[in-house]
Amino acid sequence: MSPPTDGPLVTLTLNPCIDISYDIPRLIPDQKVHARADRYDPGGNGINVARAFKRLRVPAHSICIVGGEIGDFLQRLIAHELDHPHCIRIEGETRVNVTLLQDTPRTQFEISGTGPQVSALALQGVVDEVLNLAGGGFVVLTGSLPPGVPEEIYATLIRALRAQAAHCVVDAQGAALVCAIAEHPYLIKPNRYELELLLGRPLPTLDDVIAEARALQRRGIEYVCVSLGAEGALLVDAQATYLADTPTVEVASTVGAGDSMIAGLLTALSRGEGPAEALRLGIACGSGTASRPGTALFGYQQIQSLLGAIDVRRIPHTTGRAAG
């Protein structure tokens, strides 16, 4: 386990968005439908992780790329929800994502925008800002990449941040994740499906998931956390596998559960707490968020009560494949 650092927490959102959600009775082809309610939220995984840090009362810096008047709006929204936002302005407009919540039949439609083109010069400015703010702290690299940003960007950042003794947490998919893993980040958090995609084959049993998480950990990643949705999560380090179920919550919307979990894991680890405590706080944050509607995240008091309901099992590696 690495020693805790007093360094800052930083999140990066290369492709943030305004999330617009409409409650509608029913979508009908070629007809206008009137929304019963609409709401606007700041979106993007890094922004969500930063919102979760604020809920945990942990100060964090949040770097994001914004463009145009939609970018102005985003900046206004996050000013209320984040502690230390750092917006880097580029040409073009920040994207808008739309969610339609239809009543009958109960269905959710989602459209994700592409995002503005990011020039090499602007991206260099972002990299410089990350290195400058992170010092020897912790950086969360998560979310999709906008046009113009190479898939190696997270890998490049991990390499540069390691040179200044910072720790990187990566929650990404596809080529961005593959490239990042080759640079040995501090922590990764795929869900089970993302792990299957990464390996190119199904992992039907918990033993399969644990074995693959261990194999990844041995490739030089300090912590591999695999989240299992309603079934909880596992965390692997060099010594052991830690496993826990989710506490019982009434699920309202799982949007933001994974981002909340990352904030919980990193809050504990950055304070020097061990993997069992990190997993417990990660699961509490994820489940707390799953119990809240729409894009709302867990509450601080709620976490205190959920923590007591989470039992973490430790399975030392020396005893072999002990999970079932």
137 is in the binding site of which of ligand ATP, Mg ion, none (Cβ under 5 to 8 A by kind)?
none
97 is in the binding site of which of Mg ion, ligand ATP, none (Cβ under 5 to 8 A by kind)?
none
Task: Dihedral sign for Cα 52, 54, 57, 60, please.
Answer: positive
Could you say which of 79, 120, 230, 252 contacts ligand ATP (CB under 6 A)? 230
Q: Which stretch binds Mg ion (CB under 5 A): 15-23, 36-44, 57-65, 256-264?
A: 256-264
What is the pairing mode between strands 233-236 and 223-227? Answer: antiparallel
Q: Which stretch binds ligand ATP (CB under 6 A): 1-9, 101-109, 215-223, 254-262?
A: 254-262
Provide the minimum distance between the beta carbon of 171 and ligand ATP in the complex, in angstroms, as a whole number: 7
Closest residue by Cα to residue 212 from 220, 224, 222: 224
Residue 116 binding ligand ATP, by CB under 6 A: no
Local structure of 41: helix, strand or coil: strand
Contacts of 104-111 spanning 24+ positions with Cβ under 8 A:
104/25, 104/26, 109/27
Q: Is the CB of residue 87 less than 8 Å from the CB of residue 115?
A: no
Active site residues: 259
Rg (CA), the chain: 19
Residue with smaller CB distance to Mg ion, 228 or 323: 228
Residue 137 binding Mg ion, by CB under 5 A: no
User: How far apart are the C-alpha atoms of 261 and 53, rounded to whole Å?
Assistant: 10
With contacts defined by CB under 5 A, how many residues of the chain interact with Mg ion?
1
Residues that bind Mg ion (CB under 5 A): 258
Q: Which positions lie near ligand ATP, rule CB under 6 A? A: 191, 227-230, 232-233, 246, 249, 251, 254, 256-259, 261, 283, 286-287, 290
